[in-house]
Amino acid sequence: MSKKTILTGIRPTGNLHFGHLFGAVGNWVLLQNDYETFIEIADVQALTDHFEDPEMVQKNVWELTIDLLAIGIDPKKAHIFLQSSISEIAELTVFYSNLVTIARLYRNPTVKTEIAQKKSLFGQEGESVTYGFVGYPVSQAADITALDGDLIPVGEDQLPLIEQCREIVRKFNHIYGVTLKEPEPLLSSNPRIKGLDGQTKMGKSLGNAIYLKDDEEMIQKKIMNAITDPSKIKKDDPANPEICMVYYYHKLIDNPNLKTVCSECKEGKRGCVACKKELITRMNEFLEKFREKRQYYEEHKEEVKQILEEGTKEAKKKASDTLSRVKQAMKINYF
């Protein structure tokens, strides 16, 4: 019995950060052992936000691929591929665009949220939102169906996008006959990891994330600025570790000294500076294996290129078969 196919993707808009290791991306490392796994570097989708900075997207394609390999994505088990190299996805996007109204796209909760975020962050009004940005759920449906995805690992906030894809599949199959596979979401139970400033969102612009690429000096700088219990004024004041981001990160990396960290904090026997210094040491130890793998691939870019080429070739085969079925169903297979 053949394995079910998992299709997932990530936009190349920056490096992987510490939170990714405990979230959906980290879960891909486990999923690749049980499913035929395709991981899309969604460079075309990244251009919906960054169309004026293609050099940044191109650079991040390589950075992100190296990060994925560093965390344990095995090219013998999972196929990492480039969205822009699968022309079938672009064709399917055009076909599917006839099956979705503009009004329906604007009602998509994920799209509505992201448009509101753009307005909040950049002061952009609705008139400045591009067709590509509003229509990316259609492109995402093409990503999923092109690769015959059975299961799509997502968080709850992404469920509206999967439902949009399922609607497109049902409408296509109703009009042209059963041709496409209707995907199922695979919900991740991993909570969102908080940033060093206590915010539930990590990001480069917020300066609250530790990246796999960060060196020891950068990690030290970031952790020394981490938020602690604001009621702890003096070194010997007792504090509440449960509202301290330093303790939060001690727990994430499974510090073997965790009980001592907790008790000393509560009893006022541990100063914040000493606690941060211990976290810096433990964090560097935790990240060492990722750094080593990252350095290896940084020094072997040709190997990274080959992995991308081979993964894209495998994805292209699947997408070509899907497009052939779609054109046959739509009666546009003239030759």
- CATH code at 5-193+301-329: 3.40.50.620
Q: How far apart are CA 56 and CA 61, in angstroms?
A: 9
Domain ranges in the chain? Answer: 5-193+301-329, 216-294
- Using CA atoms, how far residue 126 sits from 107, 120, 136, 190, in Å, is 14, 12, 16, 33
DSSP 146-211: HTT-SEEEE-GGGHHHHHHHHHHHHHHHHHH-S-S---EEEE--PPPPPPTTS-S---TTTT---B
**Residue 227 CB burial class (10 angstroms; 0-12, 13-18, ≥19):** middle
List the one residue out of 319, 331, 335 whose CA is nearest residue 91: 319
Q: How far apart are CA 280 and CA 250, in angstroms?
A: 10
What is the chain's pLDDT, residue by residue, as a tens digit (335 residues)? 578 999 999 999 889 988 888 887 888 999 999 999 999 999 998 887 788 888 999 999 999 999 999 999 999 999 999 999 999 999 999 999 999 988 888 887 777 777 776 665 455 555 567 777 788 889 999 999 999 999 998 878 788 889 999 999 999 999 999 999 999 998 876 677 889 988 877 777 677 899 999 999 999 999 999 999 999 888 889 999 999 999 999 999 999 999 999 999 999 999 999 999 999 999 999 999 999 999 999 999 999 999 999 999 999 999 999 999 999 999 999 98
Q: How far apart are CA 209 and CA 222, in angstroms?
A: 8
Q: What is the fold, at CATH topology level, of the domain defined by 216-294? A: Tyrosyl-Transfer RNA Synthetase (1.10.240)
Q: Sign of torsion, CA 332 182 134 10? A: negative
Look up the pTM and report it: 0.89
